[in-house]
Amino acid sequence: MNLTIGKRERAYELLQSDARKILKLIGVQMENLTIPKCPLYEEVLDTQMFGLSREIDFAVRMGLVRADDGRELLSSLERQVSALHEASMRK
């Protein structure tokens, strides 16, 4: 039982780490591109978010992450990216 809980916690930690990497990548892109509507920015964002959603889906199907936790992680990342975008528009 503890082994299963440990694997679930580790899976969620890995997903959180990937979400932080995406947020950092998007932040760096915004600093360097200064144009959030740049097609490259949008392509990277879409690709990264899709990849994370697939990771979350896989973890949910494996029973390592609850579906609502996965959705919340993705929603949280979307809110953070949106806040970064808004902040960059105010510059």
CA distance 63 to 57: 10
The answer, yes or no, to whether residue 23 has pLDDT greater than 80, is: yes
2-89 to CATH, choices 1.10.287.750, 3.40.50.300, 1.10.150.170, 1.25.40.320: 1.10.287.750
Residue 77 and residue 26 in contact, taking contact as beta carbons nearer than 8 Å: no
Four-residue CA torsion sign, 86, 84, 82, 29: positive
Task: Convert the pLDDT of each residue in 60-90 to its tens digit.
Answer: 999 999 999 999 999 999 999 888 878 777 7
pTM as predicted: 0.81
Confidence of residue 30 (pLDDT cuts 50, 70, 90): confident
* pLDDT higher than threshold 60 for residue 19: yes
User: What was the pLDDT predicted at 84?
Assistant: 81
The domain locations on the chain are 2-89
Within 8 A by CB and 6+ apart from 73, the residues are: 12, 15, 16, 19, 56
Neighbours of 53 (CB within 10 A): 15
Q: What gap in Å lies between CA 36 and CA 85, rounded to an integer?
A: 7
pLDDT value at position 28? 81
